[in-house]
């Protein structure tokens, strides 16, 4: 058996996973998942709700394989797919298993992705679909994610959170009503499933979504054939990935939690651990002073060879990731 004692491997295996499935006892499943992740020294965040499980976890490869197998053997989870990628350094510093009302927060109670989700489209078939006449392609992610990459010609709803998506649908009914087909995508597939289920609950029939999300597309589709432009934001310390799931050249602004590219890092308003051009002028002097002190503690910890909790990517706890 693989245990926490024999998992000293590099690089780190990262798995993004979710499953819409009825969970009769959320508390009991949380306890079992905590035990599995503790046994194999896995780090990351898992969200558990009556509608299923969602999250991203990371660890040594052999330990991750064992942990994922154990999660799939759980009677309340069952067979579960995940998207794998690799990180040069551990992307999480703690393990959290959290109770939520929804594993991805839409705020509409009568949507059932397990029954209503749209038609899956494999990455190999995605280009052909979005090239068809009359297809409206919708990016279901949030504005800070879309800002660093999306599919060519995709509609950006400019949402701040996934909760804003139903309002966007209501405001854009004319466009959606006129579409021959509606093709939707997100990071790993979970928001696509819920958004397509929502549209189907409103009576739209020709609704499709990218199976496995952007991550699977970037893994499977050669760069020369790709319709993807830019990088894909991910909810861990890698910040973003590109074709082949290689790590992108982004860092995270520790104030506003937006990804910061190399050009923005050369801007006078960028201060590592404190601010970026997007948020510098929204912060008070007291906030900037607090962030500078946190950054000093992070740098001291790094010199000692330790990890400071201030480095943890709080965006990984957002309930609308994936």
In order along the chain (322 residues), what is the average pLDDT of each group of 10 residues? 43 92 97 98 96 95 97 96 87 94 89 89 98 97 96 96 96 98 95 95 96 94 97 89 92 93 96 95 95 92 66 45 66
| The one catalytic residue among 186, 192, 253, 276 | 186
Say which residues have a Cβ less than 8 Å from residue 79's Cβ, sequence separation at least 6.
72
* Residue 115 neighbours by CB distance under 10 Å: 10
276 is catalytic: no
Strands (E) across 26-178 are located at 43-49, 52-59, 82-87, 95-99, 119-121, 135-139, 149-151
pLDDT of res. 46: 97
Domain boundaries, the chain: 4-103, 113-230, 249-307
283 φ, ψ to 5°? -95, 145
| Distance in angstroms (rounded) separating the CA atoms of residues 321 and 154 | 19
Residue 169 near residue 202, CB atoms below 8 Å: yes
* Structural class in CATH, domain 113-230: alpha beta
pLDDT of res. 119: 96
Q: Which helix (H) or strand (E) holds 167?
A: helix 165-171
pLDDT of res. 321: 61
pLDDT of res. 97: 98
pLDDT of res. 3: 38
> C-alpha dihedral over 148, 153, 154, 157, to 10 degrees?
80
pLDDT of res. 144: 93
The correct answer on CATH 3.20.20.70 for the domain covering 4-103 is no
pLDDT of res. 303: 81
pLDDT of res. 307: 56
């Amino acid at each position: 058996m693989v245990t926490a004692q024999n998992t000293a491997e590099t690089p780190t295996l990262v798995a993004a996973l979710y499953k819409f499935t009825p969970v009769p006892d959320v508390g009991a499943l949380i306890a079992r998942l905590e035990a599995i992740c503790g046994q194999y020294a896995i780090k990351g965040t898992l969200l558990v709700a009556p509608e299923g499980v969602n999250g991203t976890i990371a660890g040594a490869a052999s330990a991750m394989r064992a942990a994922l197998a154990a999660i799939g053997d759980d009677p309340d989870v069952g067979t579960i797919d995940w998207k794998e990628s690799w990180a040069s350094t551990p992307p999480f510093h703690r393990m959290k298993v959290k109770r939520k009302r929804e594993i991805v927060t839409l705020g509409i109670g009568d949507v059932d992705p397990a029954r209503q989700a749209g038609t899956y489209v494999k990455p190999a078939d995605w280009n052909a679909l979005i090239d068809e006449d009359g297809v409206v392609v919708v990016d279901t992610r949030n504005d800070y994610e879309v800002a660093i990459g999306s599919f060519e010609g995709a509609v950006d709803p400019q949402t701040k959170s996934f909760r804003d998506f139903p309002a966007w649908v209501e405001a854009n009914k004319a466009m959606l009503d006129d579409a021959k087909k509606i093709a939707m995508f997100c990071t790993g597939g979970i928001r696509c499933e819920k958004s397509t289920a929502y549209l189907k609950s409103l009576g739209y029939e020709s609704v499709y979504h990218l199976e496995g999300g952007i991550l699977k597309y970037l893994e499977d589709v050669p760069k020369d054939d790709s319709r993807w432009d830019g990088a894909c934001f991910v909810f861990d310390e890698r910040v973003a990935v590109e074709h082949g799931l290689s790590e992108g050249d982004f860092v995270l602004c520790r104030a506003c939690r937006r990804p910061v590219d190399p050009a923005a890092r050369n801007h006078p308003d960028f201060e590592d651990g404190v601010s970026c051009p997007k948020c510098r002028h929204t912060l008070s002097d007291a906030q900037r002073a607090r962030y500078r002190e946190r950054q000093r503690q992070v740098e001291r910890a790094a010199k000692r060879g330790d990890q400071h909790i201030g480095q943890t990517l709080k965006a990984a706890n957002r309930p609308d990731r994936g």
